[in-house]
Structure 1
Amino acid sequence: MNAAAKPEPPHRAAGLARFWVLLISTVVLAGVLFLIVRLGGYVEGEEFSPTHFRSRTFTFYEIPLIHWQITPIRRDTSTPMTALTLTQKNLITPPPGEPTLWHLVSLKNGGGEPVHDDAALLMKQLRYHAGGDSYWKTWTNDHPEMAKELWPTIGKLAERELYILLPRLFEIVRQSENPATLRSLVRGYLQEEYKSLIRDMRDAGQDDLADALAAEAASDLTPLPPT
């Protein structure tokens, strides 16, 4: 006759219960963290190199709130055809090597709306299409002499992060019929804008930045009057 099975000792049964509770809690917590990171920790954006006129997208995952990156950054090229045309025609001349200067175009965290930075003002124009074609690529091909006036100026302003000046500058281009008119209108516009920026910097007590702007303006334009 077989002896009756002995019951588990109380301390052993309690240990097994704690193990299962811990295991289930860990699985649930891991699932919750996965959903939080999956839904709220996805980061995507775009950046632009003003020296090489290239753009690229980037994506990665981070822990929300503390912004702790937990996956490598994945990057893919997103350079518009207009920008490629400019470098191919030597209207923008990149320095040797790969880009090291990048400006933020846009950034989106989780399910939120993308936030656009100043460089988006230029990217919008480089991607602008009219009638199914890239507007500024077509304009550049149709107006080669004016393109030689426009794009190097755009490149300098982009490197200086003066993207805020570009929308009005592109409007001026549309009003110009020849290189001489374009040159005159652009010079007059930039002179006034630089003077305004320099004055604002001095009023804000940022004399070093004002001096840097004055030096940049003097290298490109006729000397500005004292501000």
Structure 2
Amino acid sequence: MSSSESPPSSPPASRPSPRRQISASQIWICVISTVALGVLLLIVIRTMGYVEGEEFSPTHFRSRTFSFYEIPLIHWQITPIQRESTTPPAALLFTQKNWVSPPPGDPVDWHLVSLQRGMEETYNADASLLLTQLRLRANGTGVWRKWSQDHPGLAGALWPAVAKLADRELYILMPRLLEMARQIDSPPALQSTISNYLTQEYASLIRDMRAAGQNELADALSAEAAEDENISTQSAAEHS
């Protein structure tokens, strides 16, 4: 007895898997989102992540600018720091004439002069009080460079005192000191004026620091004032 067998049915035609289509769409969305996010991040960094400023070496009387890019908000630096010298001609003259005597080697300590992040306003630190004076010009000429060349004896008394204040970060005392110096025409008189002025200002600063509970800083100022007084006493004894 013969039997007929029906041929096996062919498998249904394969259709695109919905899962594959969804995965491909997700990949394209992810790629587009990543590119868009990268472009947005680049724009943010270019507009808000640029940092620039200036700093001053109190030991060498040198200044320089610095700039770099960072990720905003978290202040994560992402490019190397670029620096460029901006030392005023007056400061160069002071070191050439030995009115300021830099120690051997390159500067180590740098004090902030100014800082700007992105579109924020520029922040001017205390050291800007000195740099502004060193760059002061009148009739196209540097005021303090010319004054120092015209009055080398006065310059020899003034700039060592200014350098000492800069090293101690007491820039706040400089504008008044420089103003007084231009009104005096005798080196001994200027030396005496500087000594008296700093004695008064140190006493005032020490009182303010103690009133604010900053006893450690007040003690440091007292030690500096005592050191200056000893140097002044020894100098007076040598010239008597």
- What is the TM-score when the length of structure 2 is the normalising length? 0.87
Which residue of 152, 166, 174 corresponds with 1:144?
Answer: 152
- State the match for 2:131 in structure 1: 123
The SS at the match of 1:65 is: coil
Deviation digits for residues 2-28 of structure 1 (CA, Å, limit 9, x no counterpart):
xxx976432222222111111111110
Which residue of 194, 202, 207 corresponds with 1:186?
Answer: 194
Q: 1:202 offset after TM fit, Å?
A: 2.1
Matches within 5 A, 1:97-108: 97-108=105-116
CA distance in 2, matches of 1:67, 1:52: 29
Corresponding pairs, count: 220
Q: CA RMSD in A?
A: 1.8
Of residues 15-24 and 35-44 in structure 1, the stretch that sits farther from structure 2 once superposed is 15-24
Deviation digits for residues 121-154 of structure 1 (CA, Å, limit 9, x no counterpart):
0000111111101110111110000000000000
CA distance in 2, matches of 1:204, 1:112: 31
CA distance in 2, matches of 1:118, 1:109: 18
- State the match for 2:182 in structure 1: 174
Identity between Structure 1 and Structure 2 (%):
57
Which residue of 14, 33, 36 corresponds with 1:28?
Answer: 36
The SS at the match of 2:98 is: coil
Deviation digits for residues 58-101 of structure 1 (CA, Å, limit 9, x no counterpart):
11111111111111111111111111111111111111111110
- State the match for 1:49 in structure 2: 57
- State the match for 2:207 in structure 1: 199
Q: Look up the equivalent residue of 1:102 and give its one-letter code.
A: W
- What is the TM-score when the length of structure 1 is the normalising length? 0.92
CA distance in 2, matches of 1:23, 1:96: 56
Of residues 198-207 and 160-169 in structure 1, the stretch that sits farther from structure 2 once superposed is 198-207
1:65 maps to 2:73: yes
Q: 1:172 offset after TM fit, Å?
A: 0.3
The SS at the match of 1:105 is: strand
CA distance in 2, matches of 1:65, 1:83: 36
